[in-house]
Every structure is written in structure tokens, then in C-alpha cells.
């Protein structure tokens, strides 16, 4: 269970998240939608532990632990996974080495035996097949010269190998054509389980045709302004984000009037 | 002391006993060389080519061995490491090396003199000669004279070398012959404080060989190595040269590698500079014939208060030459790395294609790197590109690794290794590449952990 309470975060003194509240129960898939600049990616990076963002207020409780107190690598070992919007290229580090280092770091932490080279290869090749990646990508440098779709598949591959308890997918659909989107979505759906929660961040409703969320939240100006079921995404698709901003303006006005004694 | 007078005295006292002391041309060359050294002295930063590296301290530097080493042990260790690299390199090159008998040809020099008992030269194709310069001066002095170089060549330390060098490797490759296994040259100070080597490589058209210069850590203490290697690459010959400098932490290492390439000759130089307190490598080549190709590839690592300087020069003298130059530096502690890459394209050298890059990674706040390209182009139909960077580890890549559970220390090591490994990837010969990689990992903190995962 993830509980985000009144989260405020800033970068270079500029406030981005301004009192965000969110609860995700085990096994649930939550979609977070919002216009550009609403704070979607900041939320993903703060959850993963990026130090360039400063948390100025609020808390994140994850299964009873203070998530914000952990460095990024410990969050990952405890089962948090961020699928990057822009996966980083690492020239000179082979994908095979990278995947093995990551998987074994996580397995060590969980008290599982580290994979030997053969077992690891067998496992990774099976998962690669499932996400439609050719084996040659094992021996290329991490994400170097990969197309947009190949990078996103590589993210889903890492997620499958690391078996997270909480996966945050940051605009995994951006830059994908419909076929690549389907493959990525299938990869994500295969990983849905009662023990695994997911936060799917997206700008477009399209992805949610393939990854059907339990709940949809709309992020605007650093806060969640609406929450609902799947139909909320369809409403957004129809009316656009302007509708939310306008509704939010009315609601804010009404709330402040109502709060007056 | 290492003052100028000390070296003048040394030359005076030993000249008569040097090999070739009966050859008038060599006697004159040695005298001219010591005169030149006396005249110029140790270079200081006032000299243009020594702007970032001063040897002025040498005038007060006492050279002394504090602890000797057993050369047998050093050579055995080196060969064991090479065999280990052969084991990890799974490719046909291994067969070629094994067919030579053992693990290639090994020519060992201890304290500046050929050590036949420690050397192992396997069967060689006809027309190939591998031996010591001292012997060659006795047997084929005219051939040596043609390749020896002049007193005025190179920088002042090269003149000191010309005056004092008693030995070095003598390699002659006949027309069209290919020596498949690498020819390893090992140079080591075991009991004395200074060694001066002159290596001459002479090829006839179409010959091919790979020559490796090893400078393993020898005697502890303040020691001096001067080395000059000259490569005369005839038409369509292929010479690959790899130098692995791993001298002891207090050593001073001053070296020149000089090549002359005839039409269509291909020369590849790999310089891996990991040891010594101060290491200076002058690497030059002249593309003297049409369509010659050169690769200058280098990697240096310095930490503590150590200093490493590569000063390279490529002379494109004739048309349609191709040069590729890639240097990378890892600078840690309060160390300093210097790179100067001079490329000269003569008016006659049309359709030259030259590319140069130097990238430095600063691993600490006090580390310092200077990378300076110097291009002089007199032809109008040329392609010349150059770039130099000095930077730190990529924060995005560090975070990406950490977000996958890799701890920060390991992530830094991995990215540092990856940055350097790109240079090693250009070493075509797989066992040598593996050997270079093992030498690099030894320099990096916790390299053993990286190695088991690679």
C-alpha cells in the first residue's frame, strides 16, 4: 500500500508538486493523467528518488516505511520500479551487464541467490521474446542507438526481470506507434498481479484502452484535482484538459466561499 | 642527481663501452646528442611543447633505487597475465599465438640490456629478424644506421636517449611476411635507477606485425626510463603498436614513438598509460606516402599527485591520407592529464581525412585535465574534424543505474570503466584487448567486482 500525503516538491526553488494526495492499494492499477507541466513526471522522479527535486513538505508511506528516507537504489531493491519517459543511453555498458547487475542487486537484497550466467541468460532471453526484443539487444550498449519503441520495450523488459511491487510507468506510451504500444501494454498486463501495484502516467487516454486502470486521477498544477473510474479518462478524451482547468477554477472558488464561516 | 652535468659525466664515462662505440657515425651521433641535451637541458614550461609539463625538477632529482626486484618474477607474472587474457579471449587469435609455440614472442630487457635468458623468441617466418639492437650493431650496422634517427630528432629527452641508449629491440620484417602472434618487448629496471632504450622496427613492403611494449613496475624508488621507438613502415605494410606503461609509482617515464609511413602503409598506435609519477609520451607519425592510414588511440589514468602527458603529432605530407585519433583520460585525486594533438596537413596533402577526439573524465574536484587540438592545414580539399571535452560522470546515467538497484559507488565505477573501455574496444587483437582491460581494472577501485560481472 502506497500513501502519498500532502506532497510538495520543488526544483531549483520552483514549486512543482503542491499538496498531492494519493493512495494506491496492493494489486491496483492507477492512471494519472494531466496536461504538460502539471507535475506528472516530477511525481514519478520524486517517487524513484531523484535528488534534483527537493521534497519541501508531505510524506510518502510505503508498506509502513518512509519511502522518502531511502536512497534511490534502496527503493529499487525494496521493489519500486520507474519506467523512464526518456530511458538513458549508457555507451560502453552492455545491456546484458546492466540487466544482470540490476537483477542481482535486487535479488541479493531479497535474500535470493544471484543468478549465474547461464540461468540469467535463459531467463532474460525468455522475457525478451515476450516483449518482442531481438537477442542482439543484449550485447549492445544500454539504449544506445535504440529507437523510441526499442527503448520502451527495454524498460518493460527490466520491469519484468526486476519483479517490482510498485511500478511507476512515466509516459511509457509517448513516441510509440500503435503496434509498439500494444506490445508494451501486453507486457505490462502480463505483470498485473494482486501483489503488484502500478501507477501509469500518461498524457493520452489511448494507452488506457490497452491497460485498463482501476482508478484514474487528473493532475493539474501539482495536485490531484479529480479522481474517478475509467470513465474519467474517456471524459477527458472528449473534453480535453481545458475542461478540468475550468471546472477546477469553479470548484476552488466555491470551496473558498463555502469555507468562510 | 639528475642534473645536466651528471648526464654529461655519464656519457663521457660510458661512451667507449657502449655497443657500436667503434662505429664513427654512431660515436658522432652520440656526441651531437649529448651536446644538444647539454644545450637545451630539461624542458620547462617555457617551451611550447612542454607548456603543461615541466621537467625542471629533474635537475635536483636524485635517482636512486630503494628496493630492487627479481626480473624473473616480474616477467613470469606478466606472461601469466597474458596467458590469462588469452584464456578470456575466445577467438582465432589464440590459435595463432599458440601455434607460435607458447604465448607469442617475448624479448626482455633488464636494466637497459637484452636479457636472453628471460626472453623466448619462437619460430619465425623467413625474412624476419627479432633481436637486440646491440647485436644488430655488430652484425648489420648499415641497416641500423639507416633506421637509428638523428641527434636532432624529437625533444631533449630523446637526445639524452640517443646519447646513452645501450640497447633496445631490433625488428626487421621482410617483404610480405606476416608475424601473427604479438612480439612482446618488456623493459624493466630491476637494480639500477635508469634505463635508456632505443627500439627500431624496419619493415619491407607488405609486411605485417603487432608489437607490444610493456613497461611493468620494476625497482621501487626514483627511477628514470627514456625510450625511443622508431617504426619505418614500408609501402602497404601494417604495423600495430601497443604500449602498456605500468611503471612503479615514483618512476619518471619519458618516451617517444616515431613512425614514418610509406604509400598505403597502415600504422595503429595504442598507448595505455597507467603508471609512473610522471609519464610523457611523444607520439608522432609522418604520412610520407599517398593513401597511408594511421590510428592513434590512447587511454591514460592518473591519480594521487601523478602527471601524464601525451603529445601527439600527425604529419599529413602526401594526398589521400587518413588519420583517426582517439584519446581518453581518467583523472582522479590531484592528478593532471595533458593531451596535445597536432595535425599538420601539407599543401600537397589533398583529400586528407583527419579526425581527432580527446575526452577526459574528472573523477575528483582537484583533478585537472588539459586537452588541446592544434590543426595546421595548408591544403584546401581536406576533411578535418576535432573535438575535446573535459567533464564529469553523467548524472542521468548514474540515477538510471541507481534506480535499478545498483549502489552509487558501483554505478560510478561502472560508468568510469565504460568511458575507458571504448578506447580498449579499438584494439583489434582480442587477447591484447583483454590484457589491456585487465590492466585498466587493476587501476580502478574495486575493479575485481566489475570484472566478475563483465
The answer to whether A91 contacts B415, with C-beta atoms less than 8 Å apart, is no
Which spans in B294-453 are helix H? 395-402, 408-424, 430-443, 447-453
The answer to whether B400 contacts A84, with C-beta atoms less than 8 Å apart, is yes
* A–B interface: beta-carbon pairs under 8 A: 76
Domain boundaries, chain A: 2-87+166-259
Q: Measured between alpha carbons, how far is B255 from B283 in angstroms, rounded to an integer?
A: 8
Q: HEC states along B33-99?
A: HHHHHHHHCCCCCCCHHHCCCCCHHHHHCCCEEEECCCHHHHHHHHHHHHHHHHHHCCCHHHHHHHH
Q: In this structure, how many other beta carbons lie within 10 angstroms of the beta carbon of residue A259? A: 7
Residue B123 has pLDDT above 60, yes or no: yes
The answer to whether B404 contacts A105, with C-beta atoms less than 8 Å apart, is yes
Residue A212 has pLDDT above 50, yes or no: yes
Task: For A2-87+166-259, give the CATH class.
Answer: alpha beta
Minimal C-alpha gap between B214 and chain A (Å): 26
Return the pLDDT at A250. Answer: 52
The answer to whether B419 contacts A92, with C-beta atoms less than 8 Å apart, is yes
Contact B182, B83 (CB under 8 A): no
Contact B124, B207 (CB under 8 A): no
Minimal C-alpha gap between B265 and chain A (Å): 30
Q: Interface of chain B against chain A, CB under 8 Å?
A: 394-397, 399-408, 410-411, 414-415, 417-419, 421-422, 453-454
Return the pLDDT at A256. Answer: 37
The answer to whether A102 contacts B405, with C-beta atoms less than 8 Å apart, is yes
Q: What is the ipTM of this complex?
A: 0.93
**Chain A: residue whose CA lies nearest to B454:** A97
* Minimal Cβ distance to B406: which of A50, A52, A105: A105
pLDDT tens by residue, A143-184? 999 998 899 999 999 999 999 999 999 998 888 888 888 888
Among A183-187, B8-12, B293-297, B342-346, where is mean pLDDT lowest? A183-187
Q: Which among A101, A143, A159, A163 is the top mutation candidate for probing chain B, defined by the most B β-carbons within 10 Å of its own β-carbon?
A: A101
Q: Is A72 touching B (CB cutoff 8 A)?
A: yes
Helix, coil or strand: residue A254: helix
Q: Is A102 touching B (CB cutoff 8 A)?
A: yes
Contact B429, B270 (CB under 8 A): no
Confidence of residue A236 (pLDDT cuts 50, 70, 90): confident
What is the enclosing helix (H) or strand (E) of B164? helix B156-164
Confidence of residue B95 (pLDDT cuts 50, 70, 90): low
Q: Sign of the C-alpha dihedral, residues A151, A157, A159, A162?
A: negative
Q: pTM for the complete prediction? A: 0.88
Amino acid at each position: 500500500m502506497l500513501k502519498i500525503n500532502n506532497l510538495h516538491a520543488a526544483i531549483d526553488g520552483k514549486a512543482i508538486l503542491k499538496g498531492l494526495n494519493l493512495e494506491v492499494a496492493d494489486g491496483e492499477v492507477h492512471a494519472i493523467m494531466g496536461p504538460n507541466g502539471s507535475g506528472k513526471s516530477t511525481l514519478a522522479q520524486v517517487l524513484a528518488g531523484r535528488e534534483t527535486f527537493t521534497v519541501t513538505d508531505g510524506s510518502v508511506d510505503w508498506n509502513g516505511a518512509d519511502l522518502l528516507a531511502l536512497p534511490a537504489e534502496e527503493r529499487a531493491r525494496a521493489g519500486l520500479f520507474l519506467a523512464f519517459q526518456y530511458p538513458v543511453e549508457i555507451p560502453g555498458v552492455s545491456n546484458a551487464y546492466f540487466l544482470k547487475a540490476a537483477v542481482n542487486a535486487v535479488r541479493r537484497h531479497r535474500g535470493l541467490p544471484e543468478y549465474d550466467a547461464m540461468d540469467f541468460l535463459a531467463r532474460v532471453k525468455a522475457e525478451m521474446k515476450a516483449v518482442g526484443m531481438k537477442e542482439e539487444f543484449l550485447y549492445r550498449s544500454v539504449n544506445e542507438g535504440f529507437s523510441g519503441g526499442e527503448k520502451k520495450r527495454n524498460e518493460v523488459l527490466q520491469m519484468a526481470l526486476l519483479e517490482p511491487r510498485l511500478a511507476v510507468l512515466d509516459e511509457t506510451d509517448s513516441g510509440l506507434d500503435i503496434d509498439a504500444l500494444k506490445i508494451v501494454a501486453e507486457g505490462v498486463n502480463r505483470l498485473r498481479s494482486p501483489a503488484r501495484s502500478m501507477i501509469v502516467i500518461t498524457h493520452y487516454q489511448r494507452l488506457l484502452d490497452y491497460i485498463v486502470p482501476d482508478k484514474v486521477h487528473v493532475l493539474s498544477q501539482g495536485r490531484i484535482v479529480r479522481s474517478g473510474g475509467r470513465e474519467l479518462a474517456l471524459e477527458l478524451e472528449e473534453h480535453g484538459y481545458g475542461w478540468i482547468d475550468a471546472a477546477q477554477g469553479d470548484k476552488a472558488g466555491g470551496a473558498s466561499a463555502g469555507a468562510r464561516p | 642527481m639528475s642534473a645536466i652535468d651528471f648526464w654529461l659525466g655519464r656519457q663521457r664515462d660510458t661512451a667507449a663501452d657502449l655497443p657500436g662505440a667503434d662505429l664513427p657515425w654512431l660515436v658522432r651521433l652520440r656526441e651531437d646528442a649529448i651536446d644538444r641535451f647539454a644545450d637545451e637541458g630539461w624542458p620547462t614550461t617555457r617551451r611550447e611543447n612542454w607548456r603543461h609539463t615541466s621537467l625542471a625538477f629533474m635537475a635536483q632529482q636524485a635517482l636512486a633505487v630503494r628496493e630492487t626486484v627479481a626480473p624473473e618474477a616480474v616477467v613470469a607474472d606478466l606472461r601469466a597475465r597474458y596467458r590469462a587474457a588469452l584464456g578470456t579471449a575466445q577467438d582465432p587469435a589464440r590459435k595463432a599465438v599458440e601455434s607460435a609455440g607458447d604465448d607469442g614472442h617475448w624479448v626482455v630487457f633488464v636494466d637497459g640490456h637484452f636479457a636472453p635468458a628471460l626472453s623466448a623468441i619462437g619460430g619465425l617466418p623467413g625474412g624476419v629478424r627479432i633481436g637486440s639492437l646491440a647485436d644488430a650493431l655488430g652484425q648489420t650496422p648499415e641497416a641500423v644506421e639507416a633506421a637509428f634517427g638523428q641527434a636532432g630528432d624529437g625533444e631533449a629527452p630523446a637526445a639524452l636517449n640517443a646519447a646513452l641508449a645501450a640497447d633496445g629491440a631490433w625488428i626487421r620484417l621482410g617483404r610480405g611476411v606476416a608475424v601473427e602472434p604479438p612480439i612482446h618487448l618488456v623493459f624493466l629496471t630491476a637494480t639500477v635507477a635508469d634505463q635508456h632504450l632505443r627500439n627500431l622496427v624496419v619493415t619491407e613492403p607488405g609486411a605485417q606485425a603487432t608489437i607490444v611494449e610493456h613497461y611493468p613496475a620494476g625497482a621501487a624508488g626514483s627511477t628514470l626510463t627514456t625510450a625511443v621507438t622508431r617504426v619505418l613502415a614500408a609501402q602497404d605494410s601494417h604495423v600495430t603498436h601497443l604500449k602498456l606503461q605500468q611503471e612503479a609509482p615514483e618512476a619518471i617515464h619519458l618516451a617517444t614513438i616515431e613512425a614514418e609511413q610509406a604509400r598505403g602503409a597502415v600504422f595503429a598506435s595504442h598507448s595505455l598509460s597507467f603508471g609512473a609519477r610522471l609519464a610523457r609520451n611523444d607520439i608522432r607519425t609522418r604520412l610520407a606516402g599517398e593513401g597511408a592510414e594511421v590510428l592513434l588511440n590512447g587511454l591514460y589514468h592518473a591519480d594521487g599527485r601523478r602527471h601524464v602527458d601525451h603529445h601527439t603529432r600527425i604529419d599529413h605530407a602526401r594526398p589521400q591520407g587518413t588519420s583517426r585519433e582517439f584519446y581518453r583520460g581518467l583523472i582522479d585525486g590531484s592528478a593532471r592529464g595533458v593531451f596535445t594533438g597536432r595535425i599538420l596537413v601539407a599543401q600537397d596533402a589533398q583529400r586528407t581525412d583527419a579526425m581527432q577526439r580527446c575526452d577526459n573524465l574528472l573523477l575528483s574536484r582537484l583533478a585537472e585535465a588539459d586537452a588541446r587540438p592544434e590543426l595546421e592545414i595548408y591544403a584546401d580539399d581536406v576533411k578535418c574534424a576535432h573535438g575535446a571535452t573535459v567533464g564529469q560522470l553523467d548524472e542521468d546515467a548514474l540515477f538510471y543505474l541507481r534506480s535499478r538497484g545498483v549502489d552509487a559507488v558501483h554505478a560510478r565505477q561502472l560508468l568510469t570503466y565504460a568511458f575507458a573501455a571504448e578506447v580498449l574496444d579499438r584494439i583489434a587483437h582480442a587477447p591484447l584487448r583483454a590484457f589491456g582491460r585487465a590492466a585498466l581494472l587493476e587501476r580502478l577501485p574495486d575493479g575485481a567486482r566489475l570484472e566478475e560481472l563483465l
